Structure 1
Amino acid sequence: MNILVLVSGNGSNLQALIDAAKAGKLGPGSIVAVLSDRAGVYALERAKLAGIPVFTEVPNHNLAKDERRLELSNRILKICKACAIDLVIYAGFLSILKGDIIEAYAGRMINLHPALLPKFGGLGMYGERVHQAVIAAGEKESGCTVHLVDAGTDTGPILLQRKVPVLPGDTADSLAERIHHEEHIAIVEAAALMVKRFENKSWGII
C-alpha cells in the first residue's frame, strides 16, 4: 500500500509516521513519497534522512485563489498517479485541494486537524489561530481530529479524535504543545486504520 504524506512545515507528524512504518505499525503501508507546498521546510529533510523521495509543489500565486488551488491539486494528482499512491495523508498540510483529486481519492485521503471538529474548523482555522479561538471561547477541552477529506474544508467524516484539557493560564503555544503529543498518536492510529480498510477493501465505510 503506497502512502503519500503532504506537509507544509517542521514535519513532526511525518516523523511519527516514518517511525511507525519502520516499527511495522502500518503493516503493508509504506510511505513512498513526501510532498510539500513550501520549499525548504524541515519536513523534507526528515523524509530525505529516511530515504523517502520528496516533491516540492508550490502554489502559483499569480493565479486567482480558486484557479491556484485547482492547478496545484492537478499537479499533485499527477504525482499520485505516477507513484501509484493508494492513500494520501495530510500531516500539517496547509493548502486546500479541490477538483479531480478529491473524487479520485474519495475515502482514501485523510487530514489531521488540531481541534475537536466540528468545532473550530473551516477556512482560516489552522495552526495558532485554532488554539487562540479555543481559548477565547472558554473551552474546557480541545485535542485533534483525523477525518476523511471531502470537497469541503474540515467537513469530512471523522475517523478518530484525541482530547486534552484546556488548563487555566494556557496560551496558544502551551495548548498546541499538549495537542502535538496527541497528534503524533492520532495520525499513526488513523493511518493504521486506513491500511486495514485497504486490506479489507472497505474504503470510505465508517
Structure 2
Amino acid sequence: MFKAAVLVSGGGTNLQSLIDYHKSHADCPYKICVVISSTKNAYALERARTAGIDCVVKSPFSVMGKEAAQKASREEKNAAVSDAVLEECKLRGIDGIVLAGYLSVLQGKIIQEYKNKIINLHPALLPKFGGVGMWGHNVHEAVLAAKEKESGCTVHLVDGGCDTGKILVQKKVPVMPGDTPDSLYERIAPNEHKAIVEGLLMLCSGKF
C-alpha cells in the first residue's frame, strides 16, 4: 500500500476527492496516512478528522515560534515549514506527497529526498499562468484578463522551481463569454477532483 501525505491550506475539496476514491474502490493502491495543513483553521483538517485520518499543522508559527516567524523572511518560513514536513513524512514512512491546494512552497531537502514523489495540483493549464503569486482566483483573473479561450487544471511533479515540474495530467474547460473568476472556477473544480486522483494513481504506479 502506497502511503500518502496530503498537504492542504483551505477547504479541502480535493482532499475529499482522494478520500472518497479510497472509500469507494476496494483496489485503491494508496492510503492517506496524514494530512498536513499550513493553517490551523483549514476546513480540510475537519475533513481529515471525519475520515479518521491523522492531521497536523505545520505553519511558520508552529515550527518556528511566534517571535521568530514574525521576523523571518518568506524564504526562511518556507524552509522551516519544508523541513518540518519532511521530518513528519519520514517519521511516518510516507511514500509520496500530494499538494492539494497547499500555499507554501516546498524547498530544500524535501525536494531531493522525495524526488519524483511529490505532485501538485495547479488551477490552470501550465506552463501558462504558473509561478509566484499564481494561485486561486489570481490565476482565474489572469486567464480572463488574457482573453484565453480555454483554461483548466494541471497535476505535475514538484521540482526545485515553482510550477515547473513534469506535467502528468491536464483537464481543459472552455472559457465562456461573461465568465467571472467564480464561474470559471466552478467549471474547473470538478475536473480538479478527477485530476488529483489520476495524478496520485500515477504516482503510486511510478508510470509517468
Question: Shorter-chain-normalised TM-score: which range?
Answer: over 0.9
Identity of aligned residues (%): 52
* Match runs of 1:15-164 below 5 Å: 15-24=16-25, 27-59=28-60, 60-164=69-173
1:189 paired residue number? 198
Give the deviation of 1:123 after TM superposition. 0.4
CA contact 2:29–2:201 (8 Å) conserved in 1:
no
Q: Which amino acid aligns with 2:196?
A: I
Q: Identify if the C-alpha distance between structure 1 residues 157 and 42 changes in structure 2 by more than 3 Å, giving closer, same or farther.
A: same
CA contact 1:61–1:68 (8 Å) conserved in 2:
no
CA contact 1:25–1:192 (8 Å) conserved in 2:
no
Q: Identify if the C-alpha distance between structure 1 residues 168 and 20 changes in structure 2 by more than 3 Å, giving closer, same or farther.
A: same
TM-score, length of structure 1 as denominator length: 0.94
Rounded to whole Å, the distance in 1 between the matches of 2:87 and 2:197 is: 26
Query: Structure 1 runs of 4+ off > 4 angstroms?
Result: none
TM-score, length of structure 2 as denominator length: 0.93
Give the deviation of 1:40 after TM superposition. 1.3
Which one is further off, 143-152 or 58-67? 58-67
Aligned residues between the structures: 199
Name structure 1 gaps, 5 residues minimum: none
Rounded to whole Å, the distance in 2 between the matches of 1:26 and 1:152 is: 34
Give the deviation of 1:93 after TM superposition. 0.4
SS at match of 2:172: strand
Q: Which amino acid aligns with 1:63?
A: A
SS at match of 1:76: helix
Instruction: Write out per-residue CA displacement over residues 101-129 of structure 1, whole angstroms, 9 at most, x where no aligned residue.
Output: 00011100000000000000000000000
Give the deviation of 1:28 after TM superposition. 2.5
Give the deviation of 1:26 after TM superposition. 6.7
CA contact 1:26–1:191 (8 Å) conserved in 2:
no
Rounded to whole Å, the distance in 1 between the matches of 2:59 and 2:169 is: 30
SS at match of 1:145: strand
Give the deviation of 1:99 after TM superposition. 0.2
SS at match of 1:34: strand
Give the deviation of 1:25 after TM superposition. 7.0
Q: Which amino acid aligns with 1:54?
A: C
Q: Which amino acid aligns with 2:185?
A: A
Name structure 2 gaps, 5 residues minimum: 61-68
Rounded to whole Å, the distance in 2 between the matches of 1:25 and 1:86 is: 20
Q: Identify if the C-alpha distance between structure 1 residues 26 and 168 changes in structure 2 by more than 3 Å, giving closer, same or farther.
A: farther
